[in-house]
Every structure is written in C-alpha cells, then in structure tokens.
Structure 1
Amino acid sequence: MTIAILVMLGIGATCGIILSVASKVFYVYEDPRIGQVEYFLAGANCGGCGFAGCGAAAVAIVEGRAKPGICVAADSEAAVNIAGVMGVDPGTAEPVKSLNPCSGGDRAEDKFIYNGAMTCAAMTALYGGKRVCSIGCLGMGDCIKTCLFDAIHMGPNGFPVIDEMKCVGCGACAAACPKDLLSVKTMSERLLVFNEEDHALAPCQQTCPAEIDIPRYIRQIREGDYEAAVSTIRERNPLLLSCGRVCPHPCETYCRRAIEDDEAVSINQLKRFVADYEMNSGTRFPIPCAPDTGKRVAVIGGGPAGVSCAYFLRRLGHHPTIYENMSKLSGITRYGIPEYRLPDKVLDWEIEGILNLGIDVHYHTCLGRDFTIQSLREEGYDAIFVGIGAWKDYKLGIKGEDLKGVSQGINFLSSVADSPDKRIPIGKRAAVVGGGNSAIDCVRTLLRLGCEKVYLVYRRTRKEMPANEVEIVAAEHEGISFQFLAAPTRVIDDGQGNVKGLEYLQMELGEPDASGRRRPVPIEGSETILDVDMVISAISQQPDVSFMEKEPEKEDITITRWNTFDNDPETLQCSVPYLFTGGDVATGPSLVVDAIGGGRRAARSIHQYITGEEVKGSPKSLRKQHIPESLFQTVPGVVKSKRTPMPELPVKDRIDSMIEVDQVITEADAKHESSRCLNCCRVCYNPDTIAPSTPEGEQSAA
C-alpha cells in the first residue's frame, strides 16, 4: 500500500513538473482588454461587423484593426465604453454610415456594349467599365447583393440608394465596390472630407470655396426636404444665412446650365431660401456632435474663419473657446458689411445656434493686450487657431490725408455698425476712393446716412471694378456718381484743417499689369477737383500683426511681407506646430466663403494634431481647381428656362433707411429655380425633356 501511494505521488509530481514546464514553453498571452471589450459588445455573433463573431471583433479592436464603434448591433454607449477600455478618443466611437456620392448611374453614356458577366467587378476588369465616367457607379448592384440588412436598393436612375435608417455601417458594400465609390464614414469623417481629383463632383461644387454639395441640397429643396437641405449645407458651411446674403457665388460661373442657357441656376438664392426657412420656422434643426474628447482649442477671432473653425471642432467633439476683441461675434460680416445687406438680427440668430453647441466666448479680449499666444498655451490649450482678419486699412499715401474729414473704409463701416442707431456724423458731400465691395458699401451707407452727394472715385473703368456686379448696379440705381479713370493726388485743406476738396488726375488705360488688368496711366495736366467735405479711403486692408512684438516665440512664427501668417496652404499649420491660421490673416482680404472654407480646413488639421494623427492633406486635393473632364463646351438637351429674379425693395423705399434691400424668394420660386438645376455629377447631368416650370407653374415642351 505504501509503495502504491509513493508511486502515485511520484507520477503526480512528474506530471506537475511536465505541466509546469509545458506552461512555460507553450504559454499564450491573452490581452485582458479582449475580454473587457467583448463584454460591451452585443453578443449577437451576427457577423455584420465583418468578423467571425464578437470574440473575433474584440480581438480586432484591441489589435487596432477595427474601431470601437464597429459593432452594428450595439448602441453608441457601448462604443464609448469600448473606447474607454482602449484608452482612445471617444470621438472615434461614432456610428458609421455608408455614403454614395454618385447620382449618375444610367445618365452616363456608354463607351461600348457589354454583354458579359453582369457584375461590377467583372465590368471593371474590362477597361474600367462600359461607361465613359471614370469614377461613377456601374449600376450592376454588387453592393446591394452583399448587404445583409436590406439597406441598399437600386434607384430609378441606375445607381444604388442607401437607406440610412437601416444602414449599420458594416462596410460590406464599400468592400464590394470595385471603383471605391462607396465609403463608410462617421459623421466626423464626413465633415472632414475635402474635394479630391478622383471624387464625384459637379463643377459648381469644385468651384465653391466651402465645397458644399450644391446639387444635393438643390435636389433636396426640389423634393421639399428643407431640413435635409440645411443639413447638407451645414456639413460644409455653418454660416448659410450670412453667405446666402453676401456670397458673390463663384459657383454659378461654372454652372452647366449657363453654357446653353442665358443664365446659371441661382444657387445662392436657393441657399438663402432654405436658410431663411429654418430661421422663420420657429425651430432649429438639430446639429449632431461627436462624443466629447476633452481636448481644448483656443480660437482667436470670432469672424467667419474663427466661428467656422470653432463650429467644426465642436462637432468633432472638442472644446473650442473663442477670444473676441469686439462686443459680438461675426467679425467683418457684422462690422464691415452694412445692415441693409446683412441685418444684425440675422447674424444674432445664426451665431446663437452655433454657440448653443457648447462653444465658450470671451468678449472684449484683445490679442497682444489681454493675452498672448504663449499665455494661451500656458493655460493648457492643446492647439490654437488665429483668425483675426484684416482690419488695418491701407492709406492713399497722398498729401492732406490727415485732415479732419478723412477716414478709412473699415473704420467708417465699423463705426456705423457699432453705433446703437446705425448713425454717425458725416459730411454733406463725400468721395469714396476704391472699386471693391467695401467702397460700394461705403457709398451706399453714406446715402442712407443723409449725405447729399456721393462720389465713387476709381482709377480704372467700371469693367475692371472688383466689386460684385449686383452691388455696382444697386449703387447706380441709388444715384451714386462714378468718377472712373481718376487717381487722387491730394486732399485739399480749407485752411482750418478740414477737407475742402479732393484733387485727382484723369487716367487712361495702358498695358496689362500683373493682375491682368490694363494699367492706368496719368494724363498730364488733367488735374480735377471734386467739391467734397469728406473723403473715405477704401482701397484694401491688411492684417494688424503688431501683437507679435509681445510673443516669446515671435522668432519661430513666420510672417510674410503682406503681414499674413505663413502656413502650409493645404493644412494651414504654421511654422510652430500647435498654431494654425485661416481667413484674411492667412490669405489677405478675401471672400467670406473663403474664410469659412479655411476655418473648416484648419479644424481638420487641428483635429489631426490633437488626436495624435499626422497633420496632412491629400496629394489629390483640388482646392478650387477643376477636374478637366468635368468642364464641358456644350450641354446637349438643355431647354432654356428663365432664372428667378432677385426680389428687392424699390429705391424709394430703401434709400433713407438700413432696411434689408435684397429679399428672399418665395417657395414657389424656389421650386422653379431648383428645377432648373441639371443635378450634375462629374460627367453626367439630367438633360431636359420638359422645360422646368415657370414661377406661374406653366410648362413648355422641349
């Protein structure tokens, strides 16, 4: 018995030793986070995520091959919990949705007849497919066959339509698309998409500085889905009320309808219509934001660039704080654009909706006086955006410019805007020097303040004026006297330090200069005097960068000879990595919509920087360049249709007040104008078979 016990103990000890050695030799480590992640998954083992069950999905998440929000059966709270386990930015836990930017399908012409295997994959193997569109949908429905959730169906125009309510973001459709047209993205990722040369883009969208999906929102207006149209615009431009009033709509220059028709689609009027619809509806359409990341960003300047940057950062889940020198936000759109073009109440409503997202503001705080870039870093901000605009007016550089009664354009306009009743003391007869929008704003404002005679003095001809054509026409209708080919030489003193007149030389146009415009050449002995007691210089502005003298890192921050911040034009990152700039302080004086586009571009780069990604753009970035194949010389099938005119107040009803001149079009006019859109994509469009309805609802046959 004793021997048996000893034998058994020996065998047990031997087995123990063997197992102990084996455990060391064959030990397999399992990351404890896998079990924690799997706990928060739905446990459905449905395979909708693309992995063989929840266990495999948990392993993929821990190994970095999948995002925390990959589970299609779990809610966003589960994704946030998983992000917490992984110690990553909760913003990456957003749900994903499939997106098809192609609206072409059967509209694109065929380059050859194809009777082979009817799948997208097979068709792509043969010269990229039978259709002439190099990037568009082939329409065989490979993506539809792979969707396990019935979230995609073939639309009537031969391209797949995605049902966002059913889409779980599994990515099967994107994997099945051989042309990489479909994409599965979170809301944040959609906000940060910029135009690239291989995207499905209409010419108007390629031209828009904010890169708004113009055909999409016009289509949504035509269908009566105004909330969706607003949301489409807000994916690129948070200031749609402002832009709907002041944007010179460069997009319309490349509208295909204008190639065959006399007039482009009135894109900007449609944007204003749907923006005003929301404002006047009594409610605000919801604006979703990503989960909080805890990252803090200082935004210096509350103009279009700064507000846009803060808006997109907040939607990405970060916490921006705006530092603004004035008493209200909006920058040049509030203090440089008169009330009759952009009313304060409109700005107030628009800004309120943006701040309601959770953006903090410090008013009456001036860079260089109350704080520095360095002090913001010391407060713990993860990144800093500078969007202080261009508020420093250029002077004329002529004798008498320091006389009483001489002022600069932006100072004049901002003084009017900042006064409670929009009135300041002025002269009886005034001359405004310049040919841009600020000059036009000055002359039209002077009339409304009661000036008896107003001259606009410009050294070239009307044809060379950089101001918006509609603004020039409005000034002509209101009785402004234009003095073309006139170059001021001195302001005349009345002997008591006041303005008595403005002397100018007559000019004639010579050879073109660097801008492409013919250079004005003075005519000797042609001095002429205007009888005025007030002169305003409105020839241009530049940023004021005097605050840089107080910056400890001023030697590391590069300023150009135009007093703008030197930055990477693709990422807007400065020579100091945590610093980003956009708007006029980066580009010099430009359009409001350019500043908005710059604010979004900077927000993307800041997002990359503070989340630890590489700050980079795309090698295929368009940046307002055009895809050659999308530019047509002819557009067959277009039936002419009259453009909806801009409704405006008669001169007699507007000239004595700051009441808004341009009015919003009616819903009937919006339906008519939206029907004029050809719903273009890259190479395809909707040719007219029946002419769009007139505002009165009449139809005409093609």
Structure 2
Amino acid sequence: MVTSSIMVLFLLGLTAAAILAAASRVLHVEEDPRIAKVEGCFPGANCGGCGYPGCSAAAGAIVEGKASPEVCVAGGAEIAENIAAIMGVEAAFKEPKVANNICTGGSRANLLFEYEGVEDCRAEALLYGGEKTCGLGCIGLGSCVKVCGFDAIRLNDDGIPVVDMNACRSCGKCADVCPTGAIRISGMTMDLLHLNQIDDCLAPCMQKCPAQIDVRTYINQMKNGDMRGALLTMKERNPLPLAVGRLCPAPCETICRRNIADDGVAIHTLHRFVADWEMNSGSRLKLDCNPSTGHKVAIIGGGPAGLSCAYFLRRIGHEPVIFEKRDHIGGMMKGIIPEYRLPAKVVDWEVQSILDLGVDVHTGVEFGKDITIDSLENDGYEAIFIATGAWKVPALEIENADAEGVLDSITFLEEVGKSITNLKGKKVVVIGDSNTAMDVVRSAARLNCEVTSLVGCIQRKMAANKSEVIRATELGSELKYLTEPTRIIAKDGKVCGIEYREVQYDDPAKALGIPKPVEGTEAVIDADIVITATSRVIDTIPFEGKDGSPILTVSKKTGGLDADSLSLQTKRPNVFVGGEVHTGRSIIIQAVADGRRAARGIHHFITEGVIPELENPQLRVIPESILKNMDVTYTIPRIKIPEITIEERRSTFKEEVKGSIVYEAARKEGSRCLRCGLTCYDSEAGAEYAQDADVKTFAELGKV
C-alpha cells in the first residue's frame, strides 16, 4: 500500500516535470542581455525612488524604452552615462534633488498631550492628528529616518530631521511617509522659483518680505559662522543683497515677533553684514547654474527687476539677454540713488556677479525705437520681460511750472556731481514726500544751499522711510508738513520764489483721506531752484502702436502695465512685466521679487507652454502666525549701527552714512532671533550671552 502510493506520487512528479520542461522549451523568452548590463550599473539600492519595484524592473524599463538612462535616483551622472553607452544614446542632464525639512519647531512647538502610542509619525497623525499645535510641523518620531536606505537622515536633539545632502539620493521615501509634509524633495529650480504657500513653515518676517527671503535660516547660519551658507540662503531669493541691505525699508522688521517682547531683530543690518562679507573677502561665491537649455529670453531694462529675472533664468539654465537704454546697467541704483546711500562700486560688484553667470548685455538700445516686441520675437526670443522702470516725473500743474530753474528729481540727482557741483548761496525748494524727494533734499544740503521741502501730509504718512526723513532734517533742511505749492513766482522767465498754502485733514487726529486746502494760509518763500519730486510714473509711449492704440494695457490703479499678479504674464502670453513699470513707484525688494516671479512664469511658459496655478499661495500674512503674547526668557539690547558725523555728511557724497559692524556684534544681534516657525519660536534665544552685563531676563525686569 505504502509502496504503491510512493510509486504513484513519483510518477505524477515525473510527469509534471516532463510537462514543465516541454512548456519551458515552448514558452521560453530569451532575456535581452542589456538588462543585466544595465542593472549592473545601478548601485543596487532597490530603493524604489525611480517608481519601479527594484533595480531589475528599472533596468527592464530602460531596455524597453519606457524609462530614460537617468531614471535611477540613487545614481549620479556617471551611472546615467554608463547606462546611456550600453543603450547607444546620450544621457540628458538631470537636475540633482535632495530631501529637505521645512520645520524648525521640534520640541519648541506647544504640545497638546503626551503621546504614548506606536513610535510612528503616520500612526500618531492618523490616530490623534499629531501632538503639536502646528499642523504642518514635524511630529518627531523619526519615521523618515527608519525608511531612508542611505543613512541620509538623523534626528537632532530637538527631534527634528537633519538631512545629509551628500548622502541623500532623493528616493522620496522620507517624503512619502511624512504625514504633515515637513519633509519635501526639491532641486535647484524648485528652490529658486518656489513661491510661498500657506502650507509652508513661514515665520512672519518671511511672509512680509516681498522677496520671501528665509530670514531665520540665514541669521542662524551667520550666527554659527557659516557665512557661505548664509549668503547662499539669501541668494536663493535675492541676487542683490548688497543693494537691498542698504536700501530696503525692511518691512520684515515691522512684523518681527521680537517686537512683542522688546525690539525687533535688526534683520536689515544682518542682511547687509552677510552681503558685505563676500565683497570684503575679495572673491565671489561660486553659484551653480544648470547647463544651457537653449531657451532665449529678452529682458528689457537693466535695473533691479531685470537683473533679478536674468539671474534666476540663467541659474536654472536658460539664456537671458538684457537690453538697456543707458550706457550702463543697474537702473536707478547707478547714478540716481546717491552714493552716500549706495556706492557705485557696490553696484558694480553686485552687477558683475550676475553677469559672470553668463548673462549677455546690450547697452544703448532703446525699447520702442531700436527694438520692439515683434522684432525680438523675429530674432528668436521665446519670451520677453519688460522692466523699464518708472523714470518720468509728472510736471507741476501750477503757474510757471516750466520756468527756468524748475527741475525734476531724476534730472537733478543724475546731474549732481556733473553739471551741478555747488549751490552755495542758492535757495532750493523741494516738493514731495517720497524717498526720492528726501534724496534730493539730502543731496542739495550737501551742496551748501538753503533747502526747504513742501510736504503735503504729516510725517508718519510720508511715502519716504522714517530714517530718510530724519537724515534729511539732520542736515538742517526744513520740512514744511501739510503744505502744497499754488504757483511758482518767476521774473524774466526765471524762478525767484514759490507760493504755497497749508492743507489739513478732515479729521486731523486720525489723518484720514486727502488733505484739503486751508483758506487764507497762503505764503511766499524765495527760491532759486524748485525741484519736483512728487512721484515717478512710467513712460507709456513705447507701449503704444503707431495708431496710438495700446500694445499692453495700463492699470488705472497703479499706473503700471497690467499683468497677472503671480506670474506677471500680460495679455500677450509671451510678454511679462515687473518692477516699477508694473507696480508704479515702489521699493527695491519688490523689484527683486518681481524678477523672480517673472522668471518662474517664463520658465514654465517656455518649457511647458502653460504656467501652473498655485492652489494655496501666501498672498497676505497668515492670521494664526500673529501672536499676541510670548514667553521669552532673555532681553538683549538691539545693535547700534555706527554712522559718520553730521558734519562729515555735509562734505561728502562718496562715504556711506551707515558704517559696517563686526562679526561678534552681528552674532550677538543674530542671537536675538527667535528662529520662528509658523507658530513656534525659541523662547531661550540669546542664552549664550546670559552672562553679559547688558543681557537681562524678563523676570529680573519684572516683565513676566
């Protein structure tokens, strides 16, 4: 019985083996030998980052033409080239990408409860929604560390993932398991062109900055001695840190959370300090640029917006060409803004850093005459960015506005040091409340004349920065607030005086609305020169056709060219605009921001044909990030910036009013930064200076 059973099973096995052997001969498919060769090129990580279940499957996909030789995320360019050689093709450039962590909160975020469940971020997020009050912060249980096959992530003492950029292979597993999006995969193009979104970890200063500069990161890098890293962080958003560090009115400082506790961080000063570090070192920081894509972009105007756009386009691989009307580039930074605010040598250094990336420039070329949109299209430019600025100063609409001795602010500033070198004994009246007006006042005062400024509002309503107003009055100039000119008095066609009157708000206490004339307040002052600095507007003539019809529409609200607010694309799809030609008179950091936004729009337009819409862009300050109270331990005095004396200012146009600071002072100011996240902050900021005599605790001051 047993013997017969064994024989039956043996015969069945033998029969099955024979059938399988026959089937294998019939159904056998010879494997392409290239699959093994391609798989042999891979590092063998089987990470799945390529989207295929293992290296063997990825190799098969390459041989079948379903994947490119660059598909392996764990391998580099050399591996891609080896695979391409096997396949008889050329390897294309693949921009490297790495994981990065947007959360800085860690244990500093407020805890909702003590979690004692499974040590997995996904489980905690699924069961409890996470333990911290910040919905996009890192949960801190290290699921990303566990899934990384390259030992590229570790948790620091605060429970925050730290990515080793050299070890990361961008497989994406860490991002896949992160339930809050705190870990993300990005590359240079994504980093340079990313626009703030609501689900980013944005400190208030980052939200308020038009250029969206990562303030907390570069301050922390500077504080830790990583000057190169700090500058690279700044240049992800701002290619003109030297100029911005001198001219920006620093809206970021007005919203700094430190203001709740004592005084806001001197962000603007630290920005300049980091930028000056590079220039003072005598060598330029090497910036990576992607290989050329062959896409040509024309940029009309070599001011801050045009330079910014060219910088970002070049770094991501495109070929921008700047066309400039004047014989040099830099816009108003060069030759208009006085050197005691922004020296020409600083502008030259900054501009050269951008040109060295491979940006071509053609000067002496006027838009609307020498080149047009149509001519540039015919020359092969796939997109055009117009950034011609707002150089036109509206004439006064009063009697004798065209008399000899009446100048506009731009002409005056451009001629200072050239045809205008000394105004000793002259009486100058400046009309306007802008930063340009204060530049005129300060420059005229340096030329040994008596200066009076007619300002049509109260001081806090002036368009000029408060510091610029103070600088103007320090030189002895008189600012007559709530006044307006009524007529210019001329004799033999030359200015000899100006009549003005007082104006007032309907509700002086609230100072709302437009001030109205006060009857019976007319007065006259002597004047040899009247300088108009009321505003600056764009020249619309280049944007009109031969029949006078508009080529591009002008906004009634801003006086600038109309365009989409995020992409800066006009009604003509291949034409983009930015800077003051779009916004009207504005600040330098806005022009820089426009250049980057335009670069993003242009990049998508010329590579994809369409510009993707952002689902949740951060367009205004996020309400939940504005805290009313904070528990901060240490108070450290805000840094004092050295300045040349008032007497020294009277005798020089070349020396900057504000001086430089030393590293230790910058480091101490940087320690005041709370390293804010969306809602979290470092309450122990500045602890390393606790022993300094000028550092106190709020408890000691009785302010807890």
Amino acid at match of 1:685: Y
1-side partners of 2:88 and 2:79: how far apart?
A: 12
Whole-angstrom CA distance in 1 between matches of 2:623 and 2:493 = 59
Cα distance between partner residues in 2 of 1:127 and 1:520: 57
Match for 1:504: what amino acid?
Y
Q: C-alpha distance in 2, partners of 1:391/1:62?
A: 59
**Aligned partner of 2:197: which letter?**
E
Alignment of 1:468-547 (within 5 A): 468-494=465-491, 496-511=492-507, 517-547=512-542
Is 1:458 the counterpart of 2:459 in the alignment?
no
Could you tell me how far apart the structure 2 residues matched to 1:657 and 1:112 are? 62
SS of the aligned residue for 1:173 comes to: helix
Picking from 622, 644, 652, the partner of 1:657 is 652
Mapped to 1, the partners of 2:116 and 2:627 lie a distance apart of: 30
- Once the 2 structures are TM-superposed, how far is the Cα of residue 524 of structure 1 from its aligned partner? 1.3
Name the % identity.
41
Q: Report the alpha carbon displacement of residue 76 of structure 1 after superposing the two structures with TM.
A: 2.9
SS at match of 2:190: helix
Letter in 1 for 2:252: C
Q: Is the 8 A contact 1:296 1:319 kept in 2?
A: yes
> Cα distance 1:265–1:381, how it changes in 2: closer, same or farther (>3 A)?
same
Q: Which moved more, 1:295-304 or 1:47-56?
A: 47-56
Q: Are the equivalent residues in 1 in contact too, given 2:636–2:695 (CA < 8 A)?
A: no
CA displacement, residues 315-345 of structure 1 (integer Å, 9 cap, x when unaligned)? 0100000001112211122243111100000
Q: CA deviation at 1:609?
A: 0.6
Residue in structure 1 matched with residue 9 of structure 2 by the alignment: none
Instruction: Give the whole-Å Cα distance in 1 for the aligned partners of 2:589 and 2:60.
Output: 45
Q: Give 1:388-427 correspondences, 5 Å limit.
A: 388-416=388-416, 419=418, 423=421
Q: Distance in 2 between matches of 1:368 and 1:154?
A: 58
1:168 aligns to 2:164 (yes or no)? no
Question: For the aligned residues, what is the CA RMSD?
Answer: 3.2
1:233: how far off? 0.3
Q: Which residue of 2 aligns with 1:363?
A: 363
CA distance in 2 between counterparts of 1:278 and 1:146 reads 39
SS at match of 1:385: strand
Contact 1:41 1:71 in 2 (8 A): no
Q: Distance in 1 between matches of 2:559 and 2:59?
A: 52
Measured in 1, the distance between the counterparts of 2:373 and 2:35 equals 42
Which amino acid in the other structure matches residue 157 of structure 1? D
TM normalised by structure 2 equals 0.89
1:511 Cα deviation after fit? 4.3
| Closer/same/farther in 2, CA of residues 554 and 512 from structure 1, 3 Å limit | farther
1:677 corresponding residue in structure 2: 673
Alignment of 1:637 with 2:635, yes or no, is no
Asked if residue 200 in structure 1 is aligned to residue 201 in structure 2, the reply is: yes
How high is the TM-score relative to the length of structure 1? 0.89
Structure 2: stretches of 5+ with no match in the other structure: 1-25, 700-704
- Tell me the secondary structure at the aligned position of residue 385 of structure 2: strand
Report how far residue 354 of structure 1 moved: 0.7
1:43 maps to 42
> Deviations for 1:520-548, whole angstroms, at most 9, x for unmatched residues?
12121211111110001101111112112
**Alpha-carbon deviation of 1:86?**
12
Q: How many angstroms does 1:463 deviate by?
A: 2.3
Q: Classify 1:177/1:525 alpha carbon distance in 2 versus 1 (closer, same or farther; 3 Å).
A: same
The alpha carbon displacement at 1:44 in A equals 3.0
Change (3 A) 1:692 1:209: farther
- Quickly say closer, same or farther: Cα 1:267–1:379, change in 2 above 3 A: same
Residue of structure 1 in register with 2:20 after alignment: none
Q: 1:436 aligns with which of 408, 411, 434?
A: 434
**Deviation per residue, 1:159-214 (Å, 9 max, x gap):** 11111121121111111111122111111111111111111110100111000110
Whole-angstrom distance in 2 between the partners of 1:680 and 1:522? 47
Distance 1:554 1:223, change over 3 A: farther
CA distances 1:241-297 after superposition (whole Å, capped 9, x unpaired): 000000000001110110111x10000100000100110012111111112111110
Is the 1:372–1:551 contact (alpha carbons within 8 Å) kept by the matching residues of 2?
A: no
The CA deviation string for residues 32-73 of structure 1, in whole angstroms up to 9 with x for no partner, is 9x9799859933332235333445335667999978754244
SS at match of 1:183: strand
Note the C-alpha offset of 1:627: 1.4
CA contact (8 A) 1:501 1:531 kept: yes
Distance 1:611 1:62 in 2: 27
* Secondary structure at the counterpart of residue 126 of structure 1: helix
SS in structure 2 at match of 1:165: coil
2:90, 2:629 → 1: CA distance? 52
Is 2:682 the partner of 1:686?
yes
Quote the offset at 1:383 in angstroms: 0.7
Distance 1:300 1:289 in 2: 22
Go from structure 1 to structure 2 and tell me whether the alpha carbon gap of 1:254 and 1:592 turns closer, same or farther (over 3 Å shift).
same
* Cα distance in 1 for residues equivalent to 2:580 and 2:65: 40
- Do the aligned partners of 1:672 and 1:695 also contact (CA within 8 Å) in 2? no
The residue that corresponds to 1:229 in the other structure is: 230
| Per-residue deviation, residues 657-698 of structure 1 (Å, max 9, x unmatched) | 112111122111101100000000111110027656399786
Q: Tell whether the 8 Å contact from 1:300 to 1:386 is kept in structure 2 after alignment.
A: yes
Alignment of 1:206-285 (within 5 A): 206-261=207-262, 263-285=263-285
Structure 1 residue aligned with 2:77: 76
Match of 1:142 in 2: 143
Which secondary structure state, in structure 1, belongs to the residue aligned with residue 326 of structure 2? coil
Say which SS state the counterpart of residue 541 (structure 1) adopts. coil
| CA shift in 2, pair 1:422/1:395, >3 Å | closer
Residues 593-672 of structure 1 correspond to what in structure 2 (within 5 A)?
593-623=589-619, 625-658=620-653, 659-672=655-668
Residues 557-612 of structure 1: CA distance to partner in whole angstroms, max 9, x if unpaired? 32334542211111111101111111111111111101111100010010001112
